[in-house]
Structure 1
Amino acid sequence: MRRYAKPLVIADDLTLLRGQTTGTVTLPRHLDWSGSANYDLGSPGRIVDLYRTVLIEATKPTDLHAFLDQAILTRLWPSLWLPSDLRRAWEDRFPGLRRTDSEATAA
């Protein structure tokens, strides 16, 4: 039960996700207060960390629009560890993100 948890934030439309795709992204403190808020998009591990952080910590759709990119999100989606309720909400809104049976078996 999510009685005390913050609300889930899901994009209205994946085409609105037009975040930076190269270089370094620095997340604002409301998204990343870890002290390590700089993400090199050329580093596979850091880009996964960035997407996971933004998906979990977003407080409004504009956070998603500003920092996520549709093509990268779609590519990373199967490998992102996300809370099950957040993953389910995104996949309910965007069924194309769901793993196929063959992807789930291979994972």
Structure 2
Amino acid sequence: MRGTLHGATVHLARPGRPALVIDALDELCGPERGVVELPLRLWWQPERRFNLGQHTMLLWMYENVLREAVSRDELRCFLHAATLVRVWRELNLPRGVRQAWEARHPQLRRVG
């Protein structure tokens, strides 16, 4: 999903909400392993812990953070650059989120 803001293309995470993208992938220094607890703002369920050793939980957490983050600090805190690149093609993301990240980081389009 796309819109425009002052003549620039804006990719939307959902209607009315621009997708947030980090400037450089190497800024993503979140955990690579272990159990991560997302704040209630990012995950509204009672159980907010994700075991990154379980592949489906890792994907689920990354999808949520990429969709719901409202600050670059949230992206930096919860996402890890090499992990994001490794799982990129497996993530179930809104089209606008995927397009925004691939537009800023073309190397993600080439992951495969």
Q: TM-score, structure 2 length as denominator?
A: 0.83
1:65-104 matches, cutoff 5 A: 65-99=76-110, 103=112
Q: Considering only aligned residues, what root-mean-square deviation do their CA atoms show, in Å?
A: 1.6
Deviation at 1:86, TM superposition (A): 0.8
| Counterpart code for 2:37 | T
Tell me, in whole angstroms, the C-alpha distance in 2 between the residues paired with 1:9 and 1:41.
Answer: 22
Structure showing the higher helix proportion among its residues: 1
Contact 1:18–1:68 (CA under 8 A) maintained in structure 2 = yes
Tell me, in whole angstroms, the C-alpha distance in 1 between the residues paired with 2:110 and 2:93.
Answer: 14
Unaligned 5+ segments in structure 2 are: 2-11
1:44-55 matches, cutoff 5 A: 44-55=55-66
Q: Percent identity?
A: 39
| Counterpart code for 2:98 | R
Tell me, in whole angstroms, the C-alpha distance in 2 between the residues paired with 1:51 and 1:95.
Answer: 19
Tell me, in whole angstroms, the C-alpha distance in 1 between the residues paired with 2:47 and 2:59.
Answer: 14
1:37-48 matches, cutoff 5 A: 37-48=48-59
Q: What count of residue pairs does the alignment treat as equivalent?
A: 101
Paired residue for 2:30? Answer: 19
Tell me, in whole angstroms, the C-alpha distance in 2 between the residues paired with 1:12 and 1:99.
Answer: 18
Tell me, in whole angstroms, the C-alpha distance in 1 between the residues paired with 2:34 and 2:101.
Answer: 27
| Counterpart code for 1:23 | G
| Counterpart code for 1:70 | A
Deviation at 1:36, TM superposition (A): 2.5
